Structure 1
Amino acid sequence: MANKLFNEFHAHTKQQWKQQAVKELKGKNFDETMIWDIDKNIHIEPYYASEDIDFQSTKHIQQAQNQRVNFNWQYREMVRYSSEKETNSLILKLLKSGVDSFLIDLSDVLLSDVEIKKLLHNIKLSDTPFFFKVKNQASNLVNELQKVAPYQLKGGIVNNPFERWMYTGNWDENHWKNTAELLRKVQDYPQFKAINLSSHHYHNAGANAVQDLAFSLAQAIEVLDKLSQEGVAIQDILKNIEFSVSVGTNYFVEIAKLRAFKFLWKKIVIEGYDVDASLTNSTSFHCQTSSYYHASITPQTNLLRTTTEAMSAIIGGCDAISILPYDSEDEDADDFGDRIARNISIILKEESYFDKVIDPSAGSYFIEVLTKEIADEAFKLLQEVEEMGGIMEAFKKGFIQEQISLEHLRKQAELAQNKYIMVGVNKFRFDEKPFQKKATSSPNHDSNLVLLPNLHLSAIFEV
């Protein structure tokens, strides 16, 4: 019966579909009406078919995507340190509220002023992954952790020298030597990541998916090269890396971005460093929802944004996720926004069963084509950066800033002309009193560098 039914439906080529679409448009330009761009060289069509697929490339992309063997992603709560007692009480409370991983922000305090034993009272780091954000104090922190937790640690260190340098111009000349020493200290902790490579500073300055990928991978190459020169084996570097990636509002593009990220990372490690592909399986991916697209005047719309961003991250294959509260720009916000942010992850797991499907994006012609196109363009941009001498040289020459600035200006123009729609910003807007952003002091920096800004796209049209 089924065979007879389907015999009534005849196969059509993509060209036949397009001819019918042009007819239905009744004189409107097909390209202008139906095709949209996410990059100067990446154009999204309204319809994809099997004839669009390069099955050999798809096979390699899928192999990279399948490196994730744990589908039970962690929800990582970001906690800013206040005092040992207050922070410890908050952590213990959050452990009962659906949080299974933490990022403790110690970046604004001296470790000598913090009693780690009191901070981690009644907390076991072999059960719950703890990541600690620090500024050039990583080795000292690990020394303290080893004193109070003489067992297998889970978690890692978040010390982003590239991000700090691009924002402030300050670089620690001993960074690579200190990092090599740190890796030797944690070599017996397979679930502790000592190197965190972030894309947030690119994304929040306006970078697109291709730029996010290329510049993040250029950072990783710099790390592999510099630490190799310090005598650290490639396999010891690889097992210590976690990528932390910002995820924006473009649902399918962000899924494809993460898939392309894994594919390119495996390609670079295998072809560039001649090591076994399985070594990339130890690399973890943490995702964070975007602050770049947050609306401050109509903040409730941020709930919708962070939900789709979280979905993209999970379908793309993140190992851990942090979801920004919808009112993260509000100085007077209480913990309700944090609670709602956690609920998004919980609902996607417990009610939507996102953790029950191995790879929900597999087999989509659209996602497969988009993944390959993003990967191809990102690799071309990465090659440009490497030809300039790497990420730091490209930044010193202004290449990184110029590329991101052009992309930010393009987004800004499209928003102003209503070519790009943001609900609550340039459409369906309900004006309220905007959140007041916290003032930040201007740090000392090398005046010869043109620094990356930390932008908020919707704020341009709301203040």
Structure 2
Amino acid sequence: MSDPSLKLASEFPVPDRAQWLALVDKALKGAPFDKKLLTRLYEGIVVQPLYTRTDVAGETDPSGFPGASPFARGGRASGAGVDGWEIRSEHNASLPADANTAILDDLLRGATAIHLRLDSAARSGRTTEAALWGEGGIAIHGPEDLDRTLKGVLLEFVPLSLEAGASAERAAELLTDLWRARGTTPDQARGSFGLDPLGTLATEGRLSAPIEDSLTRMAAVAAATARDWPHATAVGVDTGAYHDAGATATQELAAAMATGTAYLKAMTAAGLDIATALGQIVFTLSVDCDQFLSIAKLRAARMMWARIAEACGAPESARRMRLLARTSRRMMSRRDPWVNLLRTTVAGFAAGVGGADSVAVLPFDAELGPSDAFSRRIARNIQILLKEESSLSQVIDPAGGSWYVETLTRQVAEAAWTEFQKIESAGGMAAALIDGSLAERIALSWAEREKNIAKRKDSLTGISEFPNLHERPVERSRPDLKPLRAEAASYLVGAGSPAEPGVNIAPLPRHRLGEAFEALRDAAEAFRNRTGNWPRLFLANLGPVASHTARATYAKNYFEAGGIETLGNDGFTEVEACVAAFKASGARIVALCGSDGLYESHAVAFAQALKQAGTDCLYLAGNPGERKADYTGAGVDEFIFVGCDVLATLRTAHARLGVCA
């Protein structure tokens, strides 16, 4: 019989933080604690190496219980429920028939909700520009297009969401008409129309009507939806534009809260009660492969929205945020896209642990054009594996009780709330977009991130780190859109030009983390296509393999991240042999690679000889320290080492080699 009072650790002394710090100091051997063990996030938050109960103030858990205020631990007491979160499949194939094939395939194989992204013509409101039909989304411009897209889909069983930008009101009308035409009753229909005028302004840089008019029309659609379609929502707050522009997690949350607040004001001004207005909004947040920050972001979002709802006088039952999570677009790479499988798996895990109601995992080839059946299958199966094999959805708030996650959630919420107040005090979200103040702050955040990416402090696997220069590219065929656009041009004959936009701003830019390095790879590939060879660098490896392999590998990864092929060898002990191999290689630039000891004895002689042999630029792999003057005097032009600006070095190398010509 077990003893309930038995404590397995009772015989061991309980260490305090001071004792732990003493042990850490011993292990660090004098290295500074702050530099080695603290992590500083772009959000201004410092992550500690250890969290304990003392990091959460008070005797009670500030996160409360699942399904209760402040909703950090989820919107439902039962967690994700028996079936878990919705597996949302996003579709952007240009032609309705192609989209339909993909939708039916997804529904038959595990997807439980469908998201339709309309083409650029619809999202931008420039539907009279035939050249935009089928670009970046499905060409849905009339009832026949939507009917073809959803042919064979049982609308009474499948939740649908729309991403239509400036055409969201028209798209909502098309969907409700289709529901009626197919006999889907109001009690059966489930969908999100996604009217998001401020998000459209941020993304497209224009609205066809003044902001107040756009918000009034949005509120009218919300009122009609609440009245006629009880299980549908009219309003969406999608933060993808801010995330893709480079926003931090706290800036993204602040934008979400400020946008949601503006929409609440518009809907209540139109006569909706606060509970009904809250029930009309669905939030979509981006999650990336920063696992813990993404988890904390989703938990903090629910806390913040519950606080806003409470301040507006909403009952507790109405304060729950409806939350969709989409894996980040900005983290996706075009080069070595297979790594995206790992990125989206981590992000999907974070979405599930963070308590999203619905999750969309982007296919690994999402940045290469319309995804094929294989990549969509893997994207579905990532979620199915997380839910059914990992049993992730069977645990209520898996991250609950982690002092790290709980502390990070609170810190993210507090920092985001400060940013939210900054937006509100300056006039609200519309004012922040029009005066450009929010865009400026996001641009500063992106600039800071860019610097760290350039120095590989933020490493990108397959792009800035461990690139595969000779990778086999993933090819994705694009449909022939000429017939569609010819049909559109014929259809639009005599159509009036679009109305004069009511609001114009500079749209937020769209970034990807790997864009700068991938631009170098693209330029190098174009150089190869012009000349027949990659731009090349010769590795002047000193001594035996064991002596130079570490720095030779470092140099190879360094330069091939910019598309510069490195020509390796087993190493040299004689200057003449090294010079002869360099001349035979056809390369114009060289990197010396060896141990510190070999640099001491050989670097000067090798550098002088290689420069005399015609080396255009001579690099030395490693920090030269006190020998810098000796090495530069011998002919070394640049030094490459951890912490230097890799991107700047590669751009200069491209210029020297004529890659950009």
TM-score (norm 1): 0.91
- List per-residue Cα deviations over 1:320-368 (Å, max 9, x = no partner): 1111111112237532111111110011111111111111101000000
- Corresponding residue for 1:161? 197
In structure 2, distance between residues paired with 1:185 and 1:35: 52
SS of alignment partner, residue 190 of structure 1: coil
Task: Identify the range of structure 1 (192-201 vs 136-145) with the bigger mean alpha-carbon deviation.
Answer: 136-145
CA distance in 2, matches of 1:396, 1:422: 34
Alignment partners' CA distance in 1, 2:216 and 2:502: 22
Q: Kindly indicate whether the alpha-carbon contact (under 8 Å) linking 2:208 and 2:503 is maintained by their aligned counterparts in 1.
A: no
**How many angstroms apart in 2 are the aligned matches of 1:297 and 1:211?**
28
What residue number does 1:280 align with? 319
What is the identity, as a one-letter code, of the residue corresponding to 1:51?
T
Cα displacement (A) at 1:155: 1.7
- Aligned residue pairs: how many? 457
CA-CA distance at 1:240 after TM superposition: 1.3
1-side partners of 2:175 and 2:221: how far apart? 8
Pick the aligned partner of 2:467 from 429, 439, 443: 429
Give secondary structure in 2 for the equivalent of 1:223. helix
Amino acid at match of 2:314: V
Query: Are residues 1:459 and 2:483 paired?
Result: no
| Aligned equivalents of 1:116, 1:325: Cα separation in 2 | 23
Name the CA distance, whole Å, in 1 between partners of 2:113 and 2:349: 19
Check whether the contact 2:43–2:415 (CA below 8 A) recurs between aligned residues: no
**Residue type at the aligned position of 1:145:** L
Say whether the 8 Å CA contact 2:325–2:359 is kept in structure 1.
yes
1:303 and 2:336 are equivalent in the alignment: no
Q: Verify the 8 A CA contact 2:241 2:508 in the aligned structure 1.
A: yes
The answer to whether the Cα contact below 8 Å between 1:252 and 1:312 also exists between their aligned partners in 2 is: yes
Preserved CA contact (<8 Å) 1:116 1:144? no
1:219-239 Cα distance to aligned partner (Å, 9 max, x none): 000101122222222222111
Show CA shifts across 1:399-423 (max 9, x none): 2111111111111111222222222
2:21 aligned to 18, 23, 30, which one?
A: 18
Structure 1 equivalent of residue 53 of structure 2 = 50
1:336 to 365, 374, 382: 374
Name the CA shift for 1:85/1:406 in 2 (closer, same or farther; >3 Å): closer
Change in 2 beyond 3 A, CA 1:379/1:95: same
- 1:177 alignment partner in structure 2: 216
The residue that corresponds to 1:77 in the other structure is 89
What does residue 412 of structure 1 align with? 450
SS at match of 1:137: helix
SS in 1 for 2:111: coil
Letter in structure 2 aligned against 1:47: L
Partner secondary structure for residue 41 of structure 2: strand
Q: Which residue of 2 aligns with 1:186?
A: 225
Q: Could you tell me which amino acid in structure 2 is paired with residue 106 of structure 1? A: L
Aligned position for 1:100: 112
Which whole-Å CA distance do the structure 2 matches of 1:208 and 1:299 have between them? 24
**3-state SS of 2:380 partner:** helix
Tell me, yes or no, if the aligned pair for 2:341 and 2:364 is still in contact at 8 Å.
Answer: yes
Q: Structure 1: 5+ residue runs without aligned partners?
A: none
Q: Any idea what the Cα deviations from partners look like across 1:200-243, whole Å, max 9, x if unmatched?
A: 11111111111111111110001011222222222221111110
Match runs of 1:352-363 below 5 Å: 352-363=390-401
The one-letter code matched in structure 1 to 2:63 is K
Describe the superposition over 1:24-72 as per-residue Cα deviations: whole angstroms up to 9, x where unpaired. Answer: 1001111011001113531001001111112456234864123234331
Change (3 A) 1:118 1:331: closer
State how far apart, in whole Å, the 1-side matches of 2:8 and 2:184 are: 66
Superposition RMSD in Å: 2.6
The question of 1:90 aligning with 2:105 is answered no
| Cα distance between partner residues in 2 of 1:366 and 1:452 | 33
**Residue 388 of structure 2 corresponds to which residue in structure 1?**
350
Secondary structure of 1:104 counterpart = strand
- What displacement does 1:106 show? 3.2
Give CA-to-partner distance per residue, 1:173-222, whole Å, 9 cap, x none.
Answer: 33223222222322243321211111111111111111111111110001
Query: Partners in 1 of 2:384 and 2:202 — Cα distance?
Result: 35
* Change beyond 3 A, Cα 1:195–1:206: same
Residue identity opposite 1:125 in structure 2: L
Partner in structure 2 of residue 204 of structure 1: 244
| CA distance in structure 2 between the partners assigned to 1:336 and 1:204 by the alignment | 26
Q: Percent identity of the aligned residues?
A: 29
Correspondence for 2:329: 291
Question: For residue 78 of structure 1, what is the amino acid of its counterpart?
Answer: E
Task: In structure 1, give the amino acid aligned to 2:160.
Answer: F
Q: Which residue type is aligned with residue 133 of structure 1? A: E
Q: Which residue of 2 aligns with 1:374?
A: 412
* Structure 1 residue 445, shift from structure 2 partner: 7.6
Which residue of structure 1 aligns with residue 180 of structure 2?
Answer: 147
CA distance in 2 between partners of 1:304 and 1:248 (Å): 11
Which residue of the partner structure matches residue 132 of structure 1? Answer: 162
Asked if residue 235 in structure 1 is aligned to residue 270 in structure 2, the reply is: no
Structure with larger Rg: 2
Structure 2 residues without counterparts, runs of 5 or longer: 123-138, 479-497, 520-661
Cα distance, 1:353–1:110 mapped onto 2, change above 3 Å: closer
Q: State whether structure 2 residue 420 is matched by structure 1 residue 398.
A: no
State the distance in 2 between where 1:315 and 1:274 align: 30
The aligned residue for residue 66 of structure 1 is 74
Judging changes above 3 Å, is the alpha-carbon distance between structure 1 residues 51 and 395 closer, same or farther for their aligned structure 2 residues?
same
Rounded Cα–Cα distance in structure 1 between residues aligned with 2:334 and 2:444: 24
CA distance in 1, matches of 2:475, 2:421: 41
Find 1:266's aligned residue among 291, 295, 306. 306
Paired letter, 1:274: G
User: How many angstroms does 1:112 deviate by?
Assistant: 2.9
Classify the secondary structure of the residue corresponding to 2:285: strand
Query: What SS is found at the alignment partner of 1:7?
Result: coil
State the partner residue of 2:485.
none
Q: Aligned in 2, Cα 1:445/1:17: closer, same or farther, shift over 3 Å?
A: farther
The equivalent residue for 1:322 is: 360
> How far off is 1:87 after superposition?
3.6
- Correspondence list, 1:237-256, <5 A: 237-256=277-296
- CA 1:146 to 1:346, structure 2 compared with 1: closer, same or farther past 3 Å? closer
Partner secondary structure for residue 59 of structure 1? coil
Give the Cα separation in 2 of the matches to 1:117 and 1:448: 33
Q: Which residue of 1 aligns with 2:256?
A: 216
Closer, same or farther: CA 219–435 of 1 in aligned 2, 3 Å = farther
The higher-RCO structure (CA 8 Å, 6+ apart) is 1
User: CA contact under 8 A between 1:218 and 1:382: conserved in structure 2?
Assistant: yes
For 1:137-159, what per-residue CA distance to the aligned partner results, in whole angstroms no more than 9, with x for missing partners?
Answer: 14522541342244121121123
Contact in 1 for aligned 2:285/2:325 (Cα 8 Å): yes
Question: Is 1:180–1:230's contact at 8 Å kept on the other side of the alignment?
Answer: yes
Return the alpha-carbon distance in structure 2 between the equivalents of residues 260 and 180 of structure 1.
27
Mapped to 1, the partners of 2:323 and 2:314 lie a distance apart of 20
Contact 1:385 1:391 in 2 (8 A): yes
The 3 A distance-change label for structure 1 pair 139 and 167 is closer
TM-score (norm 2): 0.65
- Report the AA paired with residue 423 of structure 2: V
Structure-1 residue corresponding to 2:34: 31
